[in-house]
Amino acid sequence: MTGNTLHEALFAPLAGRNDALIELPDGATISGRAFAGMIARFAHALTQAGVQPGDRVVVQLEKSPAALAVYAAAVTAGAVFVPLNTAYTPDEVDYFIENAEPRLVLVDPALAPVLGPLAERHGARVLALGADGGGSLGAAARGQPEHFDPVTREPDDLAALLYTSGTTGRSKGAMLSHANLLSNAQVLVEEWRFSDADVLLHVLPIFHTHGLFVATNVTLAAGARMILLPKFDIEAVIAHLPRATVMMGVPTHYTRLLADDRVDRDLVGHMRLFVSGSAPLLEETHEAFAARTGHRILERYGMTETNMNTSNPYDGERRAGTVGFPLPGVEVRITDPDTGEVLDPGATGIVEVRGLNVFMGYWRMPEKTAEELRDNGFFITGDLGRVDADGYLHIVGRSKDMIISGGLNVYPKEIELILDAQPGVAESAVIGVPHPDFGEAVLGVLVPRDDAAPDLAAIRATLGESLAAFKRPKALVTVPELPRNTMGKVQKAELRARFGDRFAVSGG
């Protein structure tokens, strides 16, 4: 087959759509046909700027229709799209440009004076694109033809490099092929019953797999429509929910919705589906949302390297605290963290996944790729999990967050679940910190509820009854809130740094 895999499946059909594809907060709409025209004009502008098939195009752009069109344009022009978190500083961007060696870097006009010289040092060219479509790339695209002959890209050709969030060590570029992205979008359309009648409330950033690939590609593959909000802003979300049918969010979005009394059955009764992922959704949040709105949030599990792996069922029980079943075409197995042997059903170990969704390896890091991607195609996710008797996968944390106290493995999630259920506790994080006797000691970090403070002595007594001694936190501390990144993930490394000397021997 020749052609451009993603273009043909996701972008080419837009030319035949006169209906609205994107709705903006002010009510303005962009039809599928108009968006297809934008894609073509940007693809011409990229090509004229020297982008050749296989070249990387790094973008650090605010969320906008133009920025989304640039993603499609880069892929259509045969390039490899490399989106960067908008929070990265120029120093951080410097690393990504050095590592990805892009032909072209696209930035917001305000950043062009800083990032221009930096990119040039690495032999890349910088063009600017504003959220309003202005800037040097916008100017270069104006007046270009509304049609672009897509550059041939086979299913195994790279479509994107997505850098991992890199909480430990340097970020790695996950190489994602056309087939990786398309297969996952098509599977999710089926599993989540997307159709052209759907309207997605798009509240996620578009530099991350969740907002870029899950939200956007699924909407395109289904011929659906999206309301594109610049970010999750509670006022905007409440204003636009009545016209949406689906929302995809991170757990913090759901706690923010629950914190607002306007969120009730009347507001969201018409909605078809709420999806959560990127970080664990507390059972309590799942239950509270169901009680308030009548909707059981559908939790799924994925990552930059693999796209989506598992999902709770659309029909059938959406089990709180679990991430559901492997998606069609995805295999999940649980292995021993030390030996790599496949474990018996029900045991906790490393989650490994295999399927068309799994990436091609880390960009220019063959040794990292060899460490994490087995010859037989299984990717060692670094997440710890177990599959329950009914086949639901439970994620119990990252393996690097596993605590080894006195030589025994402690899984933080087991303790967090107990702590979360204590009176006066809103949520918790359990970490390992250096300890002179035990190597690592278990430390419980608690966030008090707004309306009641936790009784730490009573909690310690409860833990004493329900947990083996080696699992019991050696200390409990309280913090006003847990540190989280933009995708809602608790930053345990930050907590370890903060509380790392809790058990240090003074006077050493």
Nearer to ligand AMP, 172 or 225 (CB): 172
Biggest alpha carbon–alpha carbon distance for the chain: 74
Nearer to ligand AMP, 130 or 324 (CB): 324
Q: How far is the CB of 395 from ligand AMP (least distance, A)?
A: 4
Handedness of CA 323, 326, 330, 332 (dihedral sign): positive
Nearer to ligand AMP, 65 or 385 (CB): 385
Nearer to ligand AMP, 64 or 311 (CB): 311
Q: How far is the CB of 313 from ligand AMP (least distance, A)?
A: 14
Q: Residue 455 is which amino acid?
A: D
Hey, what are 54's tokens? 């296989």
Nearer to ligand AMP, 180 or 381 (CB): 381
Handedness of CA 347, 350, 354, 356 (dihedral sign): positive
How far apart, in whole angstroms, are the C-alpha atoms of residue 292 and residue 314?
A: 20
Q: How far is the CB of 281 from ligand AMP (least distance, A)?
A: 6
Nearer to ligand AMP, 40 or 246 (CB): 246
Q: How far is the CB of 279 from ligand AMP (least distance, A)?
A: 5
3-state secondary structure of 188: helix
How far apart, in whole angstroms, are the C-alpha atoms of residue 385 and residue 467?
A: 19
DSSP string, 388-440: -TTS-EEEEEEGGG-EEETTEEE-HHHHHHHHHTSTTEEEEEEEEEEETTTEE
Nearer to ligand AMP, 33 or 296 (CB): 296
Q: How far is the CB of 178 from ligand AMP (least distance, A)?
A: 20
CA separation, residue 297 to residues 52, 254, 275, 389, 488 (Å): 43, 9, 6, 22, 16
Nearer to ligand AMP, 36 or 303 (CB): 303
How far apart, in whole angstroms, are the C-alpha atoms of residue 356 and residue 180?
A: 6
How far apart, in whole angstroms, are the C-alpha atoms of residue 109 and residue 257?
A: 34
Nearer to ligand AMP, 144 or 209 (CB): 209
How far apart, in whole angstroms, are the C-alpha atoms of residue 483 and residue 252?
A: 12
CA separation, residue 241 to residues 232, 258, 273, 281 (Å): 12, 14, 12, 21
Nearer to ligand AMP, 136 or 369 (CB): 369
Q: How far is the CB of 351 from ligand AMP (least distance, A)?
A: 8
Q: How far is the CB of 372 from ligand AMP (least distance, A)?
A: 12
Q: How far is the CB of 361 from ligand AMP (least distance, A)?
A: 15
Nearer to ligand AMP, 55 or 352 (CB): 352
- Nearest to 27, CA basis, from 243, 248, 273, 218: 243
Q: How far is the CB of 390 from ligand AMP (least distance, A)?
A: 17
Q: How far is the CB of 214 from ligand AMP (least distance, A)?
A: 10
How far apart, in whole angstroms, are the C-alpha atoms of residue 212 and residue 208?
A: 6
Do the beta carbons of residue 392 and residue 377 sit within 8 Å?
A: no
Q: Residues with Cβ < 8 Å from 252, sequence gap 6 or more?
A: 279, 484, 488
How far apart, in whole angstroms, are the C-alpha atoms of residue 180 and residue 303?
A: 12
Q: How far is the CB of 305 from ligand AMP (least distance, A)?
A: 7
Interface ranges with ligand AMP (CB under 6 A): 164-165, 209, 277-280, 299, 301-304, 323, 381, 383, 395, 398, 487
Nearer to ligand AMP, 47 or 285 (CB): 285
C-alpha angle 436-437-443 in degrees, rounded to nearest 5: 75
User: Which residue in the block uniquely carries the two structure tokens 């300890």?
Assistant: 435
Q: How far is the CB of 300 from ligand AMP (least distance, A)?
A: 6
